């Protein structure tokens, strides 16, 4: 039985099945992604473009490939199903390099690339090391017409070519069904897609076009960069809530064209990303949905309707008014209650925070000085948590728990009692809540601060926190709380 290959010609990988460690099929190889380097340096392989059902192209890092054998690619089994999107610095070997015109460095002979080989090096990297070329002018393939040379023996592979054929690319995908070839063409650049279409015979092209959507069959006359649309105004399809001066396009880096149209509405009351984006543009936070998940009763059409049940009504309304171009239900992950499986919703609520981001550098420095057991926690789970630190939300909307000691006066000035010692001072309790930096009035009622978060209660009310503080001579309120958190991690 032969072992894993150390040199593989990429055209022979097209259509090869990818298996996980259990022998289950993951998908099929459609291309290899590399990064071209300056000069004639051998490009480094980043990974494989794999097609998984239903005709979705994903990125498989080359580090997850454990072996390439005859008719099979083996992986570690850990595969991200996020749709592959080629970056500007990346190159598809089959899609971009096959049929490329090049020149042999030593002789100056003009050649066409027919295949490229990648090789597993001693450093465990995969590099493009060999190029199969055919001298220009030889239309008939015969034994000896194709030569294999070193990568650095060919000039012109790192340059963008204005005119490029598609014969060898089509030969690599000759056995594909029209639907699969249409999927391959969808992932090519506009330039390469046009070249492939020109190289297909009429019957084959017609079969492929039938598998493409109507939008992909038409000719694109002009394109606009998304940044050019910033602050363009538009007429919104629903006017159920007042939004003066808020109907314009904003930019956000979490919106892609791979999982939708590239245009999404912003709902700052129902998502952290939306809230941050709208705040950056000074947009208001509007919430037409009650805490029970139903639209407010005063809204026309959908008043009193559960927010997920309203989808059908809203789509029907758009269609009736002639505003619906197309309705496509995109499948995506969505949170549900684990008990009753009811759809959940993110809901913006006022909360009290500790500004932990102000001491992030100090927290990271303390972590470096801490000897963790096991050591992986230091730069793993705990280190990741510190590096992605955000302000800590203290309050919770609960009927039980430790009330936050925040008081306010009739002028709405709010103060926080800092410790038990402050309450135990031999003075009238009313004086504790006088603050000369405000109005000097007396705080006579507790603010609607809610209950403290569970982690806060663990540090404040747990007998374990007091014991740790006494054993280690730490301040009870601050250091003991931190110690309990670290112990539990």
Taking residue 269's Cβ as centre, other Cβ atoms within 10 Å add up to: 19
- In this prediction, residue 297 has a pLDDT band, given cuts at 50, 70 and 90, of very high
What tokens were used for 207?
């079969």
What is the 3-state secondary structure of 83-146?
Answer: ECCCCCCCEEHHHHHCCCEEEECCCCCEEEEEEEEEEECCCCCEEEEEEEEEECCCCCCCCCCE
Is it the case that residue 447 has pLDDT exceeding 90? Answer: no
Is it the case that residue 445 has pLDDT exceeding 80? Answer: no
- Of the candidates 197, 204, 137, which has an alpha carbon nearest to the alpha carbon of residue 166? 197
Is it the case that residue 458 has pLDDT exceeding 70? Answer: no
pLDDT in the model for residue 476: 43
**pLDDT tens digit string along 261-275?**
678 889 999 888 898
- Claim: this prediction has a pTM higher than 0.75: no
Higher per-residue confidence, 217 vs 62: 62
Higher per-residue confidence, 358 vs 201: 358
- In this prediction, residue 487 has a pLDDT band, given cuts at 50, 70 and 90, of very low
**pLDDT tens digit string along 388-441?**
888 888 777 776 667 777 766 667 777 677 676 765 654 444 444 444 444 555
pLDDT in the model for residue 467: 63
Residue 467 CA to residue 474 CA, distance in Å, equals 10
- Of the candidates 412, 415, 395, 413, which has an alpha carbon nearest to the alpha carbon of residue 404? 395
Query: What are the helix (H) ranges across 236-359?
Result: 272-280, 310-320
Q: What is the largest CA-CA distance in the chain?
A: 104
Residue 345 CA to residue 313 CA, distance in Å, equals 19
pLDDT in the model for residue 400: 67
Mean pLDDT of the chain: 77
Q: What mean pLDDT comes out for the span 25-46?
A: 84
Beta bridge partners of 100: none
């Amino acid at each position: 039985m032969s072992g894993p290959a150390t040199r593989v010609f990429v055209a022979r990988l097209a259509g090869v099945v990818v298996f996980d460690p259990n022998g289950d099929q993951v998908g099929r190889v459609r291309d290899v992604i590399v990064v071209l380097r300056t000069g004639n340096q051998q490009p480094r392989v980043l990974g494989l473009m794999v097609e998984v059902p239903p005709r979705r192209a994903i990125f498989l890092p080359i580090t997850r490939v454990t072996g390439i054998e005859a008719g099979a690619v083996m992986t570690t089994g850990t595969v991200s199903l996020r749709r592959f999107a080629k970056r500007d610095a990346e190159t598809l070997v089959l899609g971009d390099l096959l049929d490329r015109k090049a020149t042999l460095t030593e002789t100056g002979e003009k050649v066409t690339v027919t295949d490229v080989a990648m090789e597993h090096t001693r450093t465990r990297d995969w590099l493009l090391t060999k190029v199969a070329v055919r001298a220009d002018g030889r239309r008939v393939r015969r034994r000896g017409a194709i030569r294999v040379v070193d990568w650095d023996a060919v000039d012109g592979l790192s340059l963008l070519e204005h005119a490029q054929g598609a014969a060898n690319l089509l030969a690599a995908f000759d056995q594909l069904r029209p639907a699969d070839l249409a999927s391959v063409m969808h992932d090519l650049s506009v330039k390469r897609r046009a070249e492939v279409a020109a190289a297909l015979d009429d019957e084959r092209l017609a079969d492929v076009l039938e598998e493409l959507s109507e939008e992909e069959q038409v000719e694109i006359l002009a394109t606009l960069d998304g940044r050019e649309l910033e602050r363009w105004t538009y007429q919104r399809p629903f006017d159920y809530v007042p939004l003066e001066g808020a109907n314009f396009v904003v930019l956000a880096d979490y919106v892609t064209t791979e999982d939708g149209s590239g245009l999404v509405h912003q709902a700052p009351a129902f998502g952290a990303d939306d809230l941050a984006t709208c705040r950056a543009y000074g947009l208001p936070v509007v919430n037409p949905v009650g805490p029970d998940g139903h639209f407010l009763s005063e809204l026309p059409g959908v008043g009193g309707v559960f927010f997920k049940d309203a989808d059908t009504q809203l789509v029907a309304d758009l269609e009736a008014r002639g505003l619906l171009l197309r309705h496509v239900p995109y499948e995506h992950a969505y949170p549900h209650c684990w008990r009753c499986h009811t759809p959940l919703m993110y809901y913006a609520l006022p909360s009290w925070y500790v500004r932990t981001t102000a001491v992030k550098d100090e927290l990271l420095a303390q972590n470096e000085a801490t000897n963790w057991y096991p050591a992986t926690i230091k730069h793993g789970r705990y280190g990741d948590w510190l590096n992605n630190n955000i302000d800590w939300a203290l309050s919770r909307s609960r009927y039980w728990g430790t009330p936050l000691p925040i008081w306010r006066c009739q002028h709405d000035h709010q103060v926080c009692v800092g410790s038990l010692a402050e309450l135990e001072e031999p003075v009238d309790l009313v004086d504790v809540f006088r603050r000369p930096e405000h109005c000097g009035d007396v705080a006579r009622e507790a603010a609607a601060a809610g209950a403290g978060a569970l982690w806060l209660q663990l540090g404040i009310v747990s007998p374990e926190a007091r014991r740790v503080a006494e054993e280690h001579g730490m301040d009870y309120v601050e250091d003991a709380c931190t110690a309990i958190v670290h112990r539990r991690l």
